[in-house]
Amino acid sequence: MNPFLNTPIEYLKGVGPARGELLKKELQIFTFNDLLFHFPYRHIDRSKTYKINEIGADMPYIQIKGILSNLRTVGPIGQQRLVAELHDGTGTIELVWFQGHKWVKEALKPSKVYLVFGKPSEFNGSYSIIHPNMDDPDDIETKKYLHIMPLYSVTEKMRARGLDSRVMMKLVNTLLLDTRFSVEENLPEPLCVQQKLMNRQHALQSIHFPQNVTELANAEYRLKFEEFFFIQLRLLRFKMKRTQLVNGIKLEYIGKLFNAFYNDCLPFELTNAQKKVIKEIRIDVKKGIQMNRLVQGDVGSGKTVVALMSMLMAIDNGYQACMMAPTEILATQHLETVTHLLKKLPVTVKLLRGATGAKERRIIHEQLESGELDILIGTHALIESKVKFKNLGMAIIDEQHRFGVEQRSKLWQKNKFPPHVLVMTATPIPRTLAMTLYGDLDTSVIDEMPAGRKPIQTLMRYDSSRLAIFGFLKNEIAKGRQVYIVYPLIEESETLTFKNLVEGYESICKEFPEPKYQVSILHGRLKAKEKAFEMNRFVKGETQIMVATTVIEVGVNIPNASVMVIESAQKFGLSQLHQLRGRVGRGADQSYCILMSDMKLTTEAKQRLKAMCETNDGFKIAEMDLKLRGPGELEGTAQSGILDLKIADLAKDTNILVLARQTAQEVLNEDPELKLEQNKLLAYHYALYRKTAKWGRIS
């Protein structure tokens, strides 16, 4: 890299030690290069100037020109603000500053003409602009920016000390105009030509100060492509290394157990999708290369049996298998399902969880090390270092989004050779996210539901129709069905929401009195034993209603439960609502999901609930969730550094991502080690990138 760009930021003209400190603290801008990569969050068109009497409500950012007067500080000490008036002969508008008055007051001159830029707001029929940009119309620099001006994000602290977007713009400009400024290309020229990419230096200049909108679009495209390209190069190299270098366990035989299970134990015909995925796994595990496969399948699509049959492949070849679930309830349920399905076969299955006693634990450890135990099911307890397998051949991670990257990678260290890893997720992930989060994994999709399922009917109801809903629930219970009532208790420790749950439970108990009705309650404050007890009563059908928090969210399978009422549904994210809804609709009966809310809903909340009513398709819902909330908010993705994208947007830039991945693959196909002359620059920048990128290990 050009050493000039590594210069500490305080040495830039206009920065100095004080602003330098501020830039480091507030925006993590340490060097010239960091400033260069502090891209504007948007640009605004300043080519038109409005008259004050043309200003109307709901106008976006606009520019006006007028004379400044009546500059004064008002308000009590501690809440002071600076106000001024601007008039242009057609009218007057008020300008207001809450922060950084001192700086603004010093800089502004009364009776002078200013170009003012900002978003007008209306109060009692008159307009004002809060924190306007103030420019001298004769300033040559200002003229240069007038067409398309960048806006930079700054923090409140920065603004209070006079370091606003406007100053940031000047600093970037100073940097770009320096004669020593230059940026190296980091993509091979043929690639740039083929993909019609703007060269890097030009793009980095234009992303700040474009001449016109086309130039801005081209610069954005180039930088987004570059960002995706390096991520994908990394992921694909990861994958290549794994498939070329890592010695995998070869599961050669389809043996007795697998066949016996398929022929004699399966209680149903596999769906074609299940068969397809099992075949994909089968092909992987006999190659002698470690499998790393993600199985995506909507809730209820039948992932458990796919996991089970994969474990049998390992056992048939003399290896052990394990299955990891995010909660004790789920692990217990898996144990029951697996034990039940395997009851005719000579396979030893055990459960290990936090609550497992010392004696039982010792036995499990011994049996694992001797190889006596075939399948171990459990929670996080499985990856404690004390747990040693004789020869782990297959590790299943169910509902993976609850597991951190770190925890997953621990599984690898359990053997001389890494076991095959099957990651199962019921949270459908939008394609772009999957490609980025799991870009080094192979993916299988179970895109078909077992036959005979009726789509769940989802309805939106306001609190006012509660009575009618109770009536409906009574009808369903009379038919022998069971009901979930879910409360949003996001922070389990939060006393207020907990109170809501308890009150809800009490009012349900009143409405559905014993002995005719039995009501269970389940929440995070209960001890594991109590949880299991309540859950069991519901599973066995001893209680008809389960009042619960989101602890029932993942995986729990009770086919007889056909109604779910979600209280304050507006407080849940889309993917979470979909997860919850997946608890019903698992049997042959018509199932219902009722989304309760009060009348005061934000537009976004309304959109979310409406989407839930319109589709049962988890992938569509995931796409919509990504669009509404952005990738950072999606469950389980926040901790991954990969999603700290500077410019590209996983919700909007799908096409660029697909192209970047494809291009990266082509480059690696031709030159896996990046050794060719034409890829020299690329290799250099790739090494740089690997060093600097925040990069959570993915699997």
Among 11, 253, 268, 462, contact with ligand ADP (rule: CB under 6 A): 268
CB of 200 to ligand ADP, least distance (A): 45
Structure tokens at 526: 């209960």
C-alpha–C-alpha distance, residues 446 and 433, integer Å: 18
Nearer to ligand ADP by Cβ, of 376 and 426: the residue is: 426
C-alpha–C-alpha distance, residues 457 and 475, integer Å: 16
How far CA 461 is from CA of 466, 509, 584, 615, in Å, comes to 8, 21, 18, 17
Binding mask 8-27 for ligand ADP (x = CB under 6 A): --------------------
444 binds ligand ADP (CB under 6 A): no
Contacts of 504 (CB under 8 A, 6+ apart): 485, 487, 547, 567
Nearer to ligand ADP by Cβ, of 242 and 578: the residue is: 578
Residues 539 to 568: which contact ligand ADP by CB under 6 A? Answer: 555, 557, 559
Nearer to Mg ion by Cβ, of 66 and 297: the residue is: 297
C-alpha–C-alpha distance, residues 71 and 85, integer Å: 7
Half-sphere exposure of 690 (CA within 13 A, CB side): 12
CB of 589 to ligand ADP, least distance (A): 13
CB of 382 to ligand ADP, least distance (A): 18
274: partner contacted, choices Mg ion, ligand ADP, none (Cβ within 5-8 A by kind): ligand ADP
Nearer to ligand ADP by Cβ, of 129 and 535: the residue is: 535
Contact of 424 with 307, CB cutoff 8 Å: yes
C-alpha–C-alpha distance, residues 85 and 67, integer Å: 8
274 binds ligand ADP (CB under 6 A): yes
Half-sphere exposure of 53 (CA within 13 A, CB side): 4
Query: What are 149's strand-pairing partners?
Result: 44
Among 150, 248, 300, 636, contact with ligand ADP (rule: CB under 6 A): 300
The helix-helix angle for 328-341 and 528-539 (nearest 10°) equals 50
Binding mask 162-201 for ligand ADP (x = CB under 6 A): ----------------------------------------
CB of 123 to Mg ion, least distance (A): 54
462 binds ligand ADP (CB under 6 A): no
Among 99, 186, 296, 304, contact with ligand ADP (rule: CB under 6 A): 304
586 binds ligand ADP (CB under 6 A): yes
Nearer to ligand ADP by Cβ, of 5 and 308: the residue is: 308
Contact of 205 with 173, CB cutoff 8 Å: no
C-alpha–C-alpha distance, residues 346 and 369, integer Å: 19
Nearer to Mg ion by Cβ, of 453 and 629: the residue is: 453
618 binds Mg ion (CB under 5 A): no
C-alpha–C-alpha distance, residues 342 and 339, integer Å: 5
Nearer to Mg ion by Cβ, of 327 and 570: the residue is: 327
Nearer to ligand ADP by Cβ, of 165 and 425: the residue is: 425
C-alpha–C-alpha distance, residues 149 and 167, integer Å: 12
CB of 163 to ligand ADP, least distance (A): 52
Binding mask 385-424 for ligand ADP (x = CB under 6 A): ----------------------------------------
Q: Is 154 helix (H, G, I), strand (E, B) or coil?
A: coil
Q: How many residues bind ligand ADP (CB under 6 A)?
A: 18
Among 82, 171, 426, 564, contact with ligand ADP (rule: CB under 6 A): 426
- Reported residue count of the chain is 699
Among 31, 271, 292, 332, contact with ligand ADP (rule: CB under 6 A): 271
Nearer to ligand ADP by Cβ, of 231 and 323: the residue is: 323
Among 100, 210, 555, 618, contact with Mg ion (rule: CB under 5 A): 555
Nearer to ligand ADP by Cβ, of 271 and 679: the residue is: 271
Structure tokens at 646: 């500077």
C-alpha–C-alpha distance, residues 644 and 697, integer Å: 14
Contacts of 677 (CB under 8 A, 6+ apart): none
Among 450, 524, 573, 696, contact with ligand ADP (rule: CB under 6 A): 450
Contact of 378 with 324, CB cutoff 8 Å: yes
Looking at 28-36, 111-119, 292-300, 371-379, which segment touches ligand ADP (CB under 6 A)?
292-300
Q: Which of 109, 60, 69, 107 is nearest to 88 (CA)?
A: 69
Q: How many residues bind Mg ion (CB under 5 A)?
A: 1
Contact of 1 with 31, CB cutoff 8 Å: no
Looking at 224-232, 245-253, 385-393, 548-556, which segment touches Mg ion (CB under 5 A)?
548-556
The helix-helix angle for 303-316 and 328-341 (nearest 10°) equals 60
C-alpha–C-alpha distance, residues 608 and 333, integer Å: 31
Structure tokens at 170: 């000047």
Taking CB atoms, the residue at the shortest distance from ligand ADP is 302
Q: How far is CA 230 from the centre of its chain?
A: 20
Contact of 373 with 350, CB cutoff 8 Å: yes
CB of 300 to ligand ADP, least distance (A): 5
Nearer to ligand ADP by Cβ, of 430 and 555: the residue is: 555
E strand or H helix that includes residue 563: strand 561-566
293: partner contacted, choices Mg ion, ligand ADP, none (Cβ within 5-8 A by kind): none
C-alpha–C-alpha distance, residues 477 and 538, integer Å: 13
Residue numbers at the binding site for Mg ion (CB under 5 A): 555
Residue numbers at the binding site for ligand ADP (CB under 6 A): 268, 270-271, 274, 297, 299-305, 426, 450, 555, 557, 559, 586
